[in-house]
Amino acid sequence: MAVDVRFPTVLRAHTDGAPVVSAEGSTVGEVFADLVARYPGLSGQLVDATGTMHKFVNVYLDDEDVRYLNQLDTKVGEGAEISILPAVAGG
C-alpha cells in the first residue's frame, strides 16, 4: 500500500530535503517503519522510545488526527496522504 507522507521543513533534513515521500505500509506504524528504514535520521522523530507516537508531532491521515483514530495502528488506504506536523507551542 503506497501512501504519500508530507514532511514539515524541520524534518526535511532527514529526508534529503524532500517535502513528500512515498512510503509503504497498511498502518501508520508500518508506514513510519518503512520511512525510518529508508531515512534513519527519522528514528526517534516520529515514534518515541516506548514505541508510541511522539508527543511533539501531530499526524494527520488526510484530514483526521490519527491520535483520535487508532494512533499507530490506524489503517491507511491506497492513495491516502499522511501529514506530519510538529507541535507548535510556547508560553
Q: Which residues contact another protein by CB under 8 A?
A: 6, 8-10, 12-13, 17, 19, 56, 58, 60, 63, 65, 83, 85-91
Give the CA distances from residue 50 to residues 20, 27, 53, 55, in Å, rounded to whole numbers and listed in that order. Answer: 27, 18, 9, 11
Shortest approach of another protein to residue 8 CB, angstroms? 7
- Give the Cβ contact number of residue 54 at 10 Å: 17
Shortest approach of another protein to residue 62 CB, angstroms? 10
- Tell me if residue 55 falls in helix, strand or coil: coil
DSSP class of 24: E
Shortest approach of another protein to residue 31 CB, angstroms? 17
| Residue among 51 and 90 whose Cβ is closer to another protein | 90
| Residue among 12 and 75 whose Cβ is closer to another protein | 12
